[in-house]
Copies of this chain bind each other. A is one copy, B any other.
Amino acid sequence: MIANQYKEMLQAKSVIRELFQYATDRGKEIGYENVYDYSLGNPSVPVPQKFTDVMMELLATQEPVALHGYSPTLGIPQVREKIAASLAKRFGLPYTMDEIFMTSGAAGAIAHALRAVSVAGDEILTFAPFFPEYGPYVNLTGAVLRVVPPRVEDFQIHFEALEEMLNEKTAAVLINTPNNPSGVVYSEETIQRLAALLRARSAEYGHDIYLISDEPYREIVFDGAKAPCVSRYYENTIVCYSFSKSLSLPGERIGYVAVNPACKDAKTIVQMCGQISRGIGHNCPSSIIQLAVAEVLEETADLSVYEKNRNVLYEELLRLGFSCVKPDGTFYIFPKALEEDAKAFSEKAKKYDLMLVPGDSFGCAGYFRMSYCIAPEKVERSLEALRRFVEECYPNRNMEQR
């Protein structure tokens, strides 16, 4: 009796993965360098050299039994301490190691956070456009994911819709800023208004509504700006962080849960994460990766490449007549397609070796995502294909909509 729930999931195909597979196959025909693959969100710049140096030093100098030994359930204490100290310094909140739980990236962090604050039947609200994996992340806990429709003019929060959808069953609101796929950073005003609303509804319903803040792109913000620190605005915030994007370490599966020290149950929630681990077989990220990352907490890979790509693509898209919200960060851009059916649009683009992901699976039909974590040289080369695609397929497009 194999479990049908998971077997049935095999039928649903990931649009992003399929497109990437197509790009890979096409690459075998014409050379992958000639495929303008904007499908996957894989960092394209190397980890800082210091990380590699620290890894080599740990391997060369540490006693192997200790180096590769079990991490305590919540993570290696000195690693949690260093993360807490770094967060305290950067964001001015009194984090201690007791608010930090080490995880296998943001996916692991969200898996723990969701289980800590919801039970089967509860509702989790998120906002379109959203990372499609939120579906299985939430639904397989037994809670229900409900998606607040997008505010397409700027991809901030559609508050009228949110106010209607919040109810007594709402256990948590899951946000992602800077956002995949829109690249938009929630403004201070958005976060303040969200915090006030959640506080009011928590009081009305007689239970805390948690804010789960998925922040893997926190460090990738452009124009010298910084993303507002969500925890500074709302006490019951659980940050889910990953080093995958900022340090270009997606395969090493390292991140953390950081519960706002102002949350009255902060320490309990971290302890509970340790218990949740026993049920989901998590048992900490790799010990050596924990130790190495702790030495490069204030570093990032060279993220300037993403800003350069954003500038080139955004300008060219506007020039070609696209309507598009300017990304504040990440390595994504989410323009409106040139016809209503973004799947058809994306299908046509494939003929020009352009891989554009239709927005439907992000909960936002009629838009498409480009992941520009690729070499700037390739972005430049792709512009000619983009121009030909648009001019040949949409000669009568409305140049006024932008």
Q: Looking at the assembled complex, report how far the CB atom of A145 sits from the nearest CB atom of chain B, in whole angstroms.
A: 12
A46 and B67 CA atoms in complex are apart in Å by: 10
A272 and B1 CA atoms in complex are apart in Å by: 13
A87 within 8 A of B: no
Task: Check A279 against B69 for contact (C-beta < 8 Å).
Answer: no
Task: Check B65 against A281 for contact (C-beta < 8 Å).
Answer: no
A111 within 8 A of B: yes
Contact (A137, B278) CB under 8 Å given A10-B271, A43-B65: yes
Q: Beta-carbon contacts of A171-205 to B below 8 Å, as 1s and 0s? A: 10000000000000000000000000000000000
Task: Check A55 against B65 for contact (C-beta < 8 Å).
Answer: no
A315 and B259 CA atoms in complex are apart in Å by: 52
A42 and B68 CA atoms in complex are apart in Å by: 11
Contacts of A43 in B (CB 8 A): 65
Quick one: closest B residue to A73, CB to CB? B17
A220 within 8 A of B: no
Q: Looking at the assembled complex, report how far the CB atom of A112 sits from the nearest CB atom of chain B, in whole angstroms.
A: 7
Contact (A286, B253) CB under 8 Å given A44-B65, A46-B64: yes
A165 within 8 A of B: no
Interface positions, chain A 83-135, Cβ under 8 Å from B, are: 103-105, 107-112, 115-119, 122, 133
Contact (A111, B251) CB under 8 Å given A43-B65, A47-B68: no
Task: Check B69 against A251 for contact (C-beta < 8 Å).
Answer: yes
Task: Check A42 against B70 for contact (C-beta < 8 Å).
Answer: yes
Contacts of A271 in B (CB 8 A): 10
Task: Check A287 against B103 for contact (C-beta < 8 Å).
Answer: no
Contact (A280, B111) CB under 8 Å given A116-B6, A136-B275, A285-B286: yes
Contact (A112, B281) CB under 8 Å given A271-B10, A286-B286: yes
Task: Check B46 against A65 for contact (C-beta < 8 Å).
Answer: yes
Q: What are 17 inter-chain pairs, A to B, with CB distance below 8 A? A: A2-B117, A2-B272, A3-B115, A3-B119, A3-B272, A4-B119, A9-B272, A45-B65, A68-B251, A68-B252, A70-B251, A108-B281, A111-B280, A139-B279, A140-B278, A281-B282, A285-B286
Listed in ascending order, the chain A residues whose CB lies under 8 Å from chain B are 1-7, 9-10, 42-47, 52, 55-56, 59-60, 63-65, 67-71, 103-105, 107-112, 115-119, 122, 133, 136-137, 139-141, 171, 207-208, 248-254, 265, 268-269, 271-272, 275-276, 278-289
Given contacts A104-B104, A108-B282, A136-B278, 20 further A-B contacts (CB under 8 A): A1-B118, A1-B207, A2-B269, A3-B119, A6-B276, A10-B275, A47-B68, A55-B59, A64-B248, A65-B248, A68-B252, A107-B282, A111-B279, A111-B281, A133-B278, A137-B278, A140-B279, A253-B283, A286-B286, A288-B289
